[in-house]
Amino acid sequence: MSNWDKKMIVPRIRFKMFDGEWESPSISGIFELRNGYTPSKFNNSYWVNGTIPWFRMEDIRTNGGILKDAIQHITTSAVKGAGLFQKNSIILATTATIGEHAMVIADSLANQRFTNFSIRKSLKNEYDPLYVYYAFYKIDEWSKKNVNSGGLLAVNIKELLKQPFCAPLILEQKEIAQYFHSLDSLIQATERKIASLKQIKEASLQAMFPAEGETVPKVRFKGFEGEWKNMVIGKAGNTFSGLIGKNKLDFGVGEARYITFLNVLNNAQIDTDILEFVNVSKDEHQNDVQIGDLFFNTSSETPEEVGMCSVLTQDVSNVYLNSFCFGFRISDNNVCPEYLAYLMRGPIGRRIMSVLAQGATRFNLSKNNFLKASIPRPKDFAEQRKIASYFIALDKQISIQKQRLEKLKQIKSACLDAMFV
């Protein structure tokens, strides 16, 4: 008797109405092995007007686990004698993207270089397909840890087939499967909510600032009218540099903190929860940051990401800026910093920065040219503030949904670990 058979086969967390040990037959005892198929890329008759969905290994990750929509299609002549995988088959990647699996929910499908396990018809009443899909999380773990060394990474199929596949009776399987299906539904709904909010933000950035050659935006808050005027950026404030004279030993230590390059690049508003430590002595002459400061990255591999703007909306002390960005401190009381930040991240700002970006393999931003650029703004400070408040609220909603999504994913990960053997 193996060590596996000697221990109690039960999960750490279980629904109250169920008890007793789980069964643990080997994978080979409940699944039949079928290989994937790769039709020739050089035969156009295999690909033109195809109707059979065909997935690559990377599609497992791209589509989030359960494959719904094929990226490519092949013809029946391409399949030949390879056969099609049946509905509710489990696809497991045993090379390259090892430890990723998916459930086939289409009626049939041909695969590229996948190892596929499909449930035998004689056992279809003993195993719930959706339970099998979620239970394969444990097989994923085993696969990632048991690959060959050197060359193309691959799982030893013979050893994989010997691994136990633990499962309770069908009613408990269905209860577990439904729980994770509900979790996945919440995750997908949250992802859709985030995507929707991002689309609203993108559309608003287009509509709430004047288009090129125009002096008023397409969408405007009630109570505001009149043309917007152009303003030379340099007349609204002054630039300042980030940290200077630092080496790698100065970072990750000390009592001071600094704003990272990615914090500026990724956020319209600086995230003060992810500031990092840096050693700055009291006698150093460094530029500390203040609430209302704007920050711009000075270089990038693409012109589209040069000069991304972020604004500091919280009062901080003993905080500095990384050396790959520069700051802009507004001195004109008629300019709202948050308004300027969102304008610079929108179509107007990106258009300005793409023109100012210089370079061939890496693009850089000249501070002097930046200060000479003109941007539109409404004369009324209240309108600037209204626009800024709208985008701040929108970003807050996106942030809330992202936090919710992360929490749901953490719950799912913990439950996958605890509710399966």
Query: What gap in Å lies between CA 185 and CA 378, rounded to an integer?
Result: 44
Tell me which H or E stretch contains 255. Answer: strand 251-259
Query: What gap in Å lies between CA 187 and CA 65, rounded to an integer?
Result: 13
Query: What gap in Å lies between CA 278 and CA 84, rounded to an integer?
Result: 58
Per-residue pLDDT at 4 = 38
DSSP structure class, residue 218: S
Per-residue pLDDT at 412 = 96
User: Could you list the pLDDT tens digit for every one of the 421 residues in the chain?
Assistant: 343 344 568 999 999 999 999 999 888 888 877 777 778 888 888 888 887 777 777 777 665 555 555 567 888 887 776 667 777 778 777 776 676 777 766 656 655 556 667 766 545 568 888 898 899 888 888 888 887 766 667 788 888 888 899 999 999 999 999 999 999 999 999 999 999 999 999 999 999 999 988 999 999 999 999 999 999 999 999 999 999 999 999 999 999 999 999 999 999 999 999 999 999 998 899 999 999 999 999 988 888 889 999 999 999 999 999 999 999 999 999 999 999 999 999 999 999 998 888 887 788 998 899 999 999 999 999 999 999 999 999 999 999 999 999 999 999 999 999 999 8
**3-state secondary structure (DSSP) of residue 13:** coil
> Quick one: which of 231, 217, 137, 142 has its CA closest to 184?
137
Write b or e for each residue in 378-413: b if 16 or more Cβ atoms lie within 10 A of its Cβ, otherwise e: beeeebbebbbeebbebbeebeebeebbeebeeebe
Whole-angstrom CA distances from 330 to 233, 240, 383 are 9, 11, 18
Strands (E), 113-223: 115-119
Write b or e for each residue in 155-186: b if 16 or more Cβ atoms lie within 10 A of its Cβ, otherwise e: beeeebeebbbbbbeeebbebbbeebeebbee
Per-residue pLDDT at 1 = 32
Instruction: Find how far residue 171's CA is from the centre of its chain.
Output: 35
Query: What gap in Å lies between CA 163 and CA 115, rounded to an integer?
Result: 15
Sign for the pseudo-dihedral over CA of 78, 82, 84, 88: negative
Residue position matching structure tokens 């699944």: 31
Per-residue pLDDT at 116 = 65
Neighbours of 72 (CB within 10 A): 14
Per-residue pLDDT at 211 = 92
Per-residue pLDDT at 327 = 97
